[in-house]
Amino acid sequence: MSDPTPAADRLGTARLATLPAAVARPGYDRSKVTPGIVHLGLGAFSRAHLGVYTDDVLASGATDWGIVGVNLRSPAIVDALKPQDGLYTLLCRENGDDRLRVIGAFLDVMNAATELDAVLEAMAKPEIRVVTITVTEKGYCHDPATGRLNEAHPMVTADLADPMRPRSLPGLIVEALRRRRDAGVPPFTVLSCDNLPQNGRITRAVVARFAQLRDADLGRYVADGVAFPSSMVDRITPATKDADRATVAAGLGLNDAWPVVAEPFRQWVIEDRFPTGRPAWESAGAILTDDVHPFETMKLRCLNGAHSTLAYLSVLGGIETVAEAMADPLLPKVIRQLWDDDIIPTVPPVPGTDVAAYTRDLEARFRNPGIRHLTLQISSDGSQKLGPRLLAPAAERIAVKNAPRVVPLTVAAWMAFLRQGDDQGRAWLVADPMAARLTAIAREHKDDPAALADALFAVGEIFPPVIAGDAPFRKATTQHLRSLLDRGLAATLTAFLFR
Kindly list the domain boundaries of the chain, sorted by start residue: 7-289, 293-498
Residue 145 is predicted with a pLDDT of: 80
Residue 406 near residue 310 (C-beta atoms within 8 A): no
The one-letter code for the residue type at 11 is L
Q: What is the tens place of the pLDDT at every residue in 417-430? A: 999 998 888 999 99
What's phi and psi for 331, nearest 5 deg?
Answer: -60, -40
The pLDDT value recorded for residue 423 is 81
pLDDT of residue 6: 54
Residues composing the chain: 499
Q: How far is it, in rounded angstroms, from Cα 169 to Cα 107? A: 22
Question: What letter does residue 31 receive in the DSSP assignment?
Answer: G
Q: Which pLDDT band, with edges at 50, 70 and 90, does 479 fall under?
A: very high
Lowest mean pLDDT among 15-24, 138-147, 466-475: 138-147
Q: Which long-range contacts (CB under 8 A, 24 or more apart) does 396-400 make?
A: 396/346, 397/342, 397/345, 397/346, 398/466, 398/467, 398/470, 398/473, 399/466
Pick the CATH number of 7-289 from 3.20.20.70, 1.20.1740.10, 3.10.129.10, 3.40.50.720: 3.40.50.720
Read off the pLDDT of each residue in 447-454 and give the average, rounded to a whole number: 97
pLDDT score recorded for residue 264: 96
At 297, the pLDDT band (50, 70, 90 cuts) reads very high
What dihedral do alpha carbons 217, 220, 226, 228 form, nearest 10°? 130
Residue 67 backbone zone (phi > 0: left; psi -120 to 50: alpha; other: beta)? beta
Check pLDDT > 80 for residue 4. no
pLDDT at 334: 98
259-282: pLDDT as tens digits? 999 999 999 999 999 999 999 999
Q: Is pLDDT above 70 for 1?
A: no
* pLDDT band per the 50, 70, 90 thresholds, residue 5: low
Look up the CATH superfamily of 293-498.
Answer: N-(1-d-carboxylethyl)-l-norvaline Dehydrogenase; domain 2 (1.10.1040.10)
> What percent of the chain clears pLDDT 70, i.e. is strictly above it?
98
- Report, in angstroms and rounded to the nearest whole number, the Rg of the chain calculated over CA atoms: 23
Q: So what's the pLDDT on residue 490?
A: 96
CA 473 to chain centre: 28
Say how many C-beta atoms besides its own lie within 10 A of residue 486's C-beta.
11
Q: Tens digit of pLDDT for each residue in 105-136?
A: 999 999 999 999 999 999 999 999 999 999 99
Selection from 408, 196, 236 nearest residue 312 by Cα = 408
Look at residue 3 in the predicted model and tell me its pLDDT: 52
Q: Name which of 162-166, 196-200, 285-289 the model is least confident about.
A: 196-200
